Structure 1
């Protein structure tokens, strides 16, 4: 038996929630402003009997102003940006009102009349009202600018994510043509001499292209899908290279559901084949491994190929272009730099890509991502 759907939240309850949230956000800055006002009244304007009494009065006036201004703003404008003229008019009314209400509350708490409200202290009343108005305006400007800064930061985050997705598409455009043209050239050769092998290669190519399209068009993929893509790619390469290529994929079952950005590992595997194993006459082995270590996801690609080229700088910090003697070296660096920039943009400064020598021969590429920076998944929630 299905349970009835809960009714949507009413506009009044939504505004109450919004008001409560805004009041909590404004509480600490309001308390700081109140302390500053009490210090100004006590030590610069020399009003009242001492700092403690003035602090109590300032707290009553400041909190009254916060309740009145935030309540009126939420009532009239909700979560939108207030009309400037209407907001200024509202301040001119609510600042003196909050002064009166705050003093009355302070009188009740103290049990005695406050000197600033007596007829003989009219200059003090005007000065304190002006100070209250200035404090209200200053606090309002602070919150107004803080919200604009938060909106700008959210917009910058969206732009940064769009840039990362554009880098993914650019990387995809870089990786596919080289592999595709070489595979088609091999197919052209095999069709006449080894039609059965050509058919197997064509089937594997279709499988790989389908997996690539599905993965690259998603904002996030799972580690299992990323390994499936690598399986399809390496299966295709093994048909091309024959016995010259062997490979292993090591993905613990509990890590398969982890979510991450697509096309982080595949370019490293492609580099391993293209620059390490394919040029080597006897070929070699490529191993792709995923593991966890001290709250970090470690993704490693090992090969027993030709090793790092001393003429190419592989571990430059982000934003620095390396100088390579060949077009292949520059293309490889571009792909690595692309991955580094995406890691930094998506997962923060602790995420990194390093390349080093494999023992006894070849290269190791390793991606490190904080587990806490990954999107929620059953494993990360556990």
Structure 2
């Protein structure tokens, strides 16, 4: 609903309820004879006077931005504003009922009664001010929360893009180094590597435009990557894919599997004289997708396996899934290391 419509609905509705309360009190303590035409007209004039004066007060508050003040600064201003508004309202009401269109059946003007009415309206205006500034504070708080969330989302998007831009040169640099070593002595292998790099670059361009990709797309690029690396490692690299068919369409962060495989080769197989074996597994339960990359070798107690690519992957997972994505890297049986990644499905 439009803020102006809401404001005027509250203004008219609130002061009307106040007026009806006054009429009810007059009827209760003064009897039915007190509820005559003059009394009803008087209460209507009071209603108009309170609506106009409180609206003027709200315009002044907006113009001077009192809702931006601290509580200690606001309270004395609000009390003074409520008092001045009460005086203005009573001056307006008394001018009408005693001088402009005098009403019959009302008590003669009295300065004591005037200030008594001012005090009564002052109490009501204090309540009005409390409600008014509470609503303003609530709206300000909500606006700040929305702004904070929007800023956080923009920051996360920027962080994600930075991480992506760090990953792309990482695998490209390794691949180009491999080609450089083969281009003169084994040009046929070099041509094959260039084909695989082309596929990787094409995928990386799509990756920069996507937050997630289907797992089957990631598996295809991992095959290219493994073929690329197997040319360099020759017989020292063997790999096996154990991909569950029900996981193929599940969206995952781009480069997630590729980076796990790259990490396994760089920090596992490449430091072993005889190379080793890599197994890539995926499985699914009602809550999580599990991706496992198992490679030959063992982590040493102080060995650090998290390179730039793997660190970036973990940062992206944190941005996309918060604490619900779980990554682990552990020694497992049969002289292997297992990198396990669990991604929430919902």
TM-score (norm 1): 0.61
Tell me the CA shift for residue 272 of structure 1: 0.9
Q: Alpha-carbon deviations, 1:276-313, whole Å to 9, x = none? A: 11332222221112222350121111111x32233334
Given that 1:286 and 1:302 are in contact with CA atoms closer than 8 Å, whether structure 2 keeps it comes out as: yes
**Cα deviation, residue 104, structure 1:** 5.1
Q: CA separation of 1:216/1:126 partners in 2, compared to 1, >3 Å: closer, same or farther?
A: closer
Match of 1:366 in 2: 340
1:59-70 to 2 correspondences below 5 Å: none
Contact 2:247 2:289 in 1 (8 A): no
Paired with 2:149 and 2:160, the residues of 1 have a C-alpha distance of: 16
Match of 1:356 in 2: 330
SS at match of 2:256: coil
Residue 132 in structure 1 maps to residue 128 in structure 2: yes
Matched-pair contact (CA < 8 Å) for 1:248–1:287: yes
Maintained 8 Å contact 1:96/1:133: no
Asked which structure has the greater CA Rg, the reply is 2
Q: Is the 8 A contact 2:329 2:340 kept in 1?
A: yes
1:72 aligns with 2:4: yes
Task: Say whether 1:101 aligns with 2:54.
Answer: no
- Runs of 4+ in structure 1 displaced over 6 angstroms? 105-108, 117-121
Counterpart secondary structure, 1:311: coil
Cα distance in 2 for residues equivalent to 1:96 and 1:147 = 23
Residue 307 in 1 paired to residue 222 in 2?
Answer: no
- Structure 2 stretches lacking a partner, 5+ long: 30-42, 47-105, 107-112
The offset of 1:96, in angstroms, is 5.7
2:206 corresponds to 1:209: no
Corresponding residue pairs, total: 263
Inter-partner Cα distance in structure 2 for 1:359 and 1:153: 45
| Two-structure CA RMSD over aligned residues (Å) | 3.1
Q: Distance in 2 between matches of 1:369 and 1:102?
A: 56
TM-superposed CA distance for 1:112, in Å, is: 8.6
Measure the CA separation in 1 of the matches of 2:5 and 2:245: 53
Tell me, yes or no, if the aligned pair for 1:172 and 1:216 is still in contact at 8 Å: no
Tell me, in whole angstroms, the C-alpha distance in 1 between the residues paired with 2:15 and 2:310.
65
Partner of 1:31: none
Flag the 1:312–1:176 CA change in 2: closer, same or farther, 3 A: same
Residue in structure 1 matched with residue 184 of structure 2 by the alignment: 188
Q: 2:310 is matched with which residue?
A: 336
Q: 1:216 Cα shift?
A: 3.7
